[in-house]
Chain A
Amino acid sequence: MKRSSGRDNSLSIVFGVLLLITLLGQALVGLAGYNEAARTDGLAEIDLLRYVTSSSFAVDVAENWQSEYLQFTLFILLTVWLVQRGSSESKAPEDAGFDSDEKERVGRFAEQDSPAAVKAGGRRAGLYSYSLTLVMATIFVLSWAAQAVAGRVAYNEERLRDLLDPLSLQAYLVSPDFWGRTLQNWQSELLAVGSMAIFTVFLRQRGSPESKAVGAPHSETPA
């Protein structure tokens, strides 16, 4: 098959485009909901630009982002040690833990076309060997913090409508609103990961790298 740049990157491109479409959809639907509530309360309606730069929209985006990045951070890190025999998402049980330098192609096993950081060795190579987890974890922490900062403002706006005092950030961090938003997202992500790990033992999707070969025995753990 002919190599083409678009085709070689279709996964990242298509998901990126779908993200932008759904984010726009979320903004439009969120604006409609916001204005509906404003009308009910006899308050002024706002336009799209005001809505996408509001804490209401920011907290809704951030709370979902943090849970996705927490999910991937945990999944990337815990699958170093935890296994599910027969799952396409797991290493073989006997391979649990860190792999050898030879298998990881680091240190004296680095190759000509290995990433520059690996060939540089030392601390730089050490840092690079955790770079995926570090970046995913950083996005998780920042998204969760953004959820707290924007969530407090959005929640205080609701409280003011009910003639209640606004909460400080400290008070918001232990409020049911913050933890309700957080935990409802976490539980769904954990369910998705856990069920994916066990479902791929017994179920298949022909052609998908997320699945074992259709004819692979249930007990076989690939890779």
Chain B
Amino acid sequence: MKLAKVLFISYLTMIAFVLTAAFVIGGLGR
């Protein structure tokens, strides 16, 4: 289950990163 946990966290982190970036980019008006 160790790799499964890494994958689970990786997906969530990637989603959080991309969505945060989208808000920042939109917020900055880029």
Dominant secondary structure of chain A at its interface with chain B: helix
Interface band, chain A: 20 to 34
**Those of B1-30 within 8 Å (CB) of chain A:** 2-4, 7, 10-11, 15, 18-19, 21-23, 25-27, 29-30
Dominant secondary structure of chain B at its interface with chain A: helix
B11 contacts A153, C-beta separation under 8 Å:
no
Q: Total A-B residue pairs with C-beta atoms closer than 8 Å?
A: 61
Other than A53-B30, A149-B27, give 15 A-B pairs with Cβ distance below 8 A. A5-B3, A16-B7, A16-B10, A54-B25, A54-B30, A55-B25, A55-B30, A58-B21, A61-B22, A139-B15, A142-B19, A146-B26, A149-B22, A149-B23, A149-B26
> Nearest 10 CB-CB pairs, A to B?
A149-B26, A150-B26, A146-B22, A58-B22, A12-B7, A5-B3, A58-B25, A9-B3, A142-B19, A150-B22
